[in-house]
Amino acid sequence: MKSTGSLGRPHANGAATGTPSRAAAGRTRLGALALPLLLLAAGCGPDHLKHYPATTFAPVTSYAREQDWLFRYVLVLGVAVGIVVFAALAYVLVRFRHRPGAAEPQHVHGNTTLELAWTLIPAVILAFIAVPTVKAIFSTQAPAPANALHIVVMGKQWWWQFKYPVNGGRDTVLTANEIHVPVGRPVELILKSDNVLHSFWVPQMGGKRDLVPNHDNKLVFTPEEPGVYYGQCAEFCGDSHALMRMRMIAQTPEDFQRWLDNEASAAAEPADSAVMLGRQLVTSKPCVGCHTIKGTVMAGVTGPNLTHFGRRRTMAAGIMDNNAQNLATWLRDAPHVKPGSKMPDMKTLNLKDEEIPYIVAYLQSLQ
């Protein structure tokens, strides 16, 4: 007697309930193959850098290009090995599959030729990987050339400080969260931290390098293309680790020198009455204890140098565009915008709402 259970009930087309048709199975396999292809295609396109700025696949320095070449070389080699291995596996599965009445296959245990082959072939493949890898390690760890620009990078909680030598090394320029570099000239970053571990990472510039308290690390690269490149701390460092961002701005040598000369100058004297009132407020409020503005009484070192704050593209360590609205929001309650911020809620320090527009006007005027 035939079973009438749901799993065994015959259908008009002869298929049993619960057994997918060949067409359905084919559609399932096609969907499983299409999904990863669609995900891969999502990262392509002419504007992918706009949507995914933290990419390592568009190198703009000598350091990054060497890493990118090594990655692609190992990837191609790995794919080639994978194709050979899976082709051999498919052949074995088909050639030696079980057949009714077939004799037991011949054992290959102790086959010296086969065992030598599967030992030597991986060793040769590893040698092809090891040689360019070691070469890249020595290249990216080499000392900076004599004409390199030396920049001291200090990881703070949670922002970046950059120090440039000027006047033959007799003076320095301090700026924050935007590192300017000249195209075509080697750059050496001296990486420091005065608090916890951080990691300097501008993906299009090259690989990560840690900032370790009481130990200086170095990173040497040569920018090749002008542009603005996204950066991020890549080592968990506390409450606002994910909000510790930066920009690398690569400029022509002439533009870079003009920027550096301007940064070395004192803040301009305000001419507008509203800006003058803003300066009076900034230099008399608690801001004076944490920030520096060259040419004023402000000489604090806890927060970023604000001498030319108005020229920066971003603020709050790269998480906000530098404009009047965002600056007012930041001044009202920085810890709400950036958890763990060392800058307090200014309302607790008697900053009045009606004073904020004047402070914003002054800080925006610092060009």
**Distance (Å, whole) CA 309 – CA 282:** 13
- Structural contact between residues 277 and 348, judged by C-beta atoms closer than 8 angstroms: no
Domains along the chain with CATH numbers: 54-96+113-264 (2.60.40.420), 273-365 (2.60.40.420)
The predicted pLDDT at position 12 comes to: 47
pLDDT: which is higher, 220 or 25: 220
pLDDT band at 41 (very low <50, low <70, confident <90, very high): low
Q: In this prediction, what percent of the chain has a pLDDT beyond 90?
A: 64
**Distance (Å, whole) CA 361 – CA 279:** 9
Note the pTM of the prediction, 2 decimals. 0.80
pLDDT band at 3 (very low <50, low <70, confident <90, very high): very low
- Structural contact between residues 199 and 209, judged by C-beta atoms closer than 8 angstroms: yes
C-alpha dihedral sign at 62, 231, 261, 259? positive
Burial of 182 (0-12, 13-18, 19+ CB in 10 A): buried
Give the residue-averaged pLDDT of 269-283.
91
**Distance (Å, whole) CA 230 – CA 205:** 9
- Is pLDDT above 50 for 262? yes
C-alpha dihedral sign at 140, 141, 142, 148? positive
pLDDT band at 19 (very low <50, low <70, confident <90, very high): low
Least confident of 113-117, 225-229, 251-255, 310-314: 113-117
pLDDT: which is higher, 68 or 350: 68
The predicted pLDDT at position 2 comes to: 47
Q: If we measure between CA atoms, which residue out of 176, 200, 185 comes closest to residue 149?
A: 185
* Strands 187-193 and 149-155, sheet pairing: parallel
Over the stretch 103-137, which tens digit does the pLDDT of each residue have?
A: 887 777 777 888 888 899 999 999 999 999 999 99
* Strands 178-182 and 245-251, sheet pairing: parallel
Q: Residue 231: which H helix or E strand, with range? A: strand 227-233
C-alpha dihedral sign at 251, 216, 318, 203? positive
CB neighbours of residue 35 within 10 Å = 10
**Tokens 């010296």 found at:** 112
pLDDT: which is higher, 97 or 199: 199
Q: Residue 288 corresponds to which amino acid?
A: V
SS3 for 153?
strand
- Is pLDDT above 70 for 45? no
SS3 for 272?
coil
- Structural contact between residues 71 and 78, judged by C-beta atoms closer than 8 angstroms: no
Least confident of 31-35, 76-80, 82-86: 31-35
Rounded to the nearest integer, the mean pLDDT of the chain is: 87
C-alpha dihedral sign at 75, 76, 81, 84? positive
Give the residue-averaged pLDDT of 257-269.
93
Q: Residue 247: which H helix or E strand, with range? A: strand 245-251
The predicted pLDDT at position 14 comes to: 46
189 forms beta bridges with 151, 219
